[in-house]
Structure formats: C-alpha cells, structure tokens
C-alpha cells in the first residue's frame, strides 16, 4: 500500500511519455513521422468504412437467362495500408498518397437460371437456383487526398480533407456455383462444371459493376478521411 503512490506516479509518467511519443510523429516538420501518423489514423478509420459500406449492396441484375439478386460485396473495410507518403503543395496543405490492399474481398448473391425449350407444341422451362460465392484475389489500389490545415487566431488547429480519390485494381475472381437440389448434386458429381460457366458470367457482371464498387468504396473512404482522419489529425498535429 505504501508503494501505491509511487506506482501511480510511475504509471502516469509512462502514459505521458507514450502520449508524447505518439503526438511527436504528427509533427508537420517531420514528413516521415507525419506519414506514419496519418497511416495509423487511416487504419483506425476502418470501423467508419464498415459502417458506411461493408457490405456493399448492389442492384439486382438480369442477363439473358441468368438473374442475380441480393448482391453483397464484403471486405471493403478490411483494407491494409501498405505504404503512405506525404508532400506539401503549400504551407497549409498536406498531399497524401497511400497504397492500399484488400486481401479478402468476396461477394455473395442469389442466382436463378431459367432455360426454356419448345418440345413439339409445348414450351418447357427448367429453373435452377443457387447461392454462388465470389472470391476475389488480393486487390491493390491507391488513395490520394489533400489535407488542408488552418490555424485560427486562438491557435486552434482545424484540418479538412478535399479531393479524395480511390482507385481499385480488382483482381480476378473465382466462383463456386452452390447449385441446390438434385441438379446441384450431379453438378458436384461431375466436377462442378457450373462454376466455370458461372465464373464467366460473373466476370462479365464484375466488369460492368467495377465502377459502382469503386464509387461506393470511394464515398465510404472519403467520409472516413473527412470525419475521422482529418478530425483526429487536428488534435494531434504539431506545427
């Protein structure tokens, strides 16, 4: 008990030292430290991205005999920041360029394939339903933004973000058809040929929707940069 005050003082000193080390990296005069600081803030913004766009929900799609619905893309918030650099276009601006990767993007959807054929004088239709799983290879992209620093007359620092751009180079995909019922059984028995057909259709759909996925990811990351990264940086930045 007599040692408790000394332990508390020691703990307070360690916390103060830790806080000082953390804020030292956010020094405007230390580009390397500032890069590490913003990188960490970007990683810590993942929950905001998850709140905004994970999963991404995309509109239903129909292509000939194939109907896709309940389309969800998971993993947008599970990004890693592989590298980040800063430059200074002006005294009050920080230009940020980051390389980001998404190791585990995947899609889930409901699929219905309906084929009809005229037999003698009667039209016969067969429908097959499934829940395909779309697995995307490691996806690499980039994020650029400009952080505008303003110091008020009272010395208070505010940071705002502008011009945030996100680019995703979507990797190739693999699809497991997961057909239901007896047709699904025979499909698995013969080596899952339906997945090859579904992969071809999914790649076509993926190419058409690449812009939508990028746009939704960009909006979510832009909001995270504005509402999380910029706000937290204003509290930590040293000028």
- 182-215 tens-digit pLDDT: 555 555 555 565 666 666 777 777 778 878 887 8
Residue 226's alpha-carbon distances to 49, 162, 220, in angstroms, are: 12, 8, 10
Burial 209-224 (b: 16+ CB within 10 A, else e): beeebbebbbebbbbb
Phi-psi sector, 62: left (phi>0), alpha (psi -120 to 50), beta: beta
What is the pTM assigned to this prediction? 0.73
Which residue range is the domain that position 65 belongs to? 30-237
Domain annotation covers residue 227: yes
Nearest-angstrom CA–CA distance, 108 and 104: 13
100, pLDDT greater than 90 = yes
**CATH assignment of the domain containing 170:** 3.15.10.50
pLDDT value at position 189?
Answer: 55
Q: What is the pLDDT averaged over residues 38-47? A: 96
Query: Above 70 in pLDDT, residue 5?
Result: no
pLDDT at 14 over 60: no
45-49, long-range: CB within 8 Å, 24+ apart, which pairs?
45/221, 45/224, 45/225, 45/228, 45/229, 46/77, 46/78, 46/79, 46/224, 47/77, 48/220, 48/223, 48/224, 48/227, 48/228, 49/76, 49/77, 49/79, 49/220, 49/221, 49/224
Q: Is residue 1 part of a domain?
A: no
Distance CA 173, CA 199 (A): 7
| Residue 64, in any domain of the structure | yes
Residue 159, domain member (yes or no):
yes
Beta carbons within 10 angstroms of residue 189's beta carbon: 8
- If one counts the domains in the chain, the total is 1
Domain-located, residue 16: no
Closest CA to 161 of 110, 222, 114: 222
- By CB atoms closer than 10 A (0-12, 13-18, 19+), residue 119 is exposed
The answer to whether position 161 is within a domain reads yes
β-pair type (66-74, 61-63) = antiparallel
In a domain, 153, yes or no: yes
Q: Is 110 a domain residue?
A: yes
């Amino acid at each position: 008990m007599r040692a408790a005050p000394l332990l508390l003082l020691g703990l307070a000193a360690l916390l103060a030292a830790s806080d000082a080390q953390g804020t030292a990296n956010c020094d405007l005069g230390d580009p390397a430290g500032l890069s590490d600081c913003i990188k960490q803030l970007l990683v810590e913004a993942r929950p905001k991205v998850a709140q905004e766009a994970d999963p991404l929900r995309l509109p239903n799609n129909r292509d000939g005999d194939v109907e896709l619905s309940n389309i969800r893309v998971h993993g947008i918030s599970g990004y890693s920041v592989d590298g980040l650099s800063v430059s200074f276009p002006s005294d009050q601006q920080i230009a940020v360029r980051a390389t980001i990767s998404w190791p585990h993007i995947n899609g889930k959807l409901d699929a219905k394939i309906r084929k009809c054929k005229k037999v003698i004088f009667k039209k016969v239709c067969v429908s097959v339903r499934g829940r395909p799983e779309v697995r995307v290879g490691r996806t690499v992209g980039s994020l650029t933004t400009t952080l505008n620093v303003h110091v008020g007359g009272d010395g208070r620092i505010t940071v705002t973000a502008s011009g945030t751009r996100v680019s995703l180079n979507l990797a190739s995909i693999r699809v497991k058809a997961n057909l239901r019922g007896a047709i699904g059984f025979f499909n698995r028995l013969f080596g899952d040929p339906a997945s090859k057909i579904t992969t071809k259709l999914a790649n076509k759909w993926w190419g058409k929707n690449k812009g939508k996925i990028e746009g939704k990811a960009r909006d979510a990351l832009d909001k995270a940069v504005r509402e999380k990264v910029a706000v937290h940086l204003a509290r930590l930045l040293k000028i």
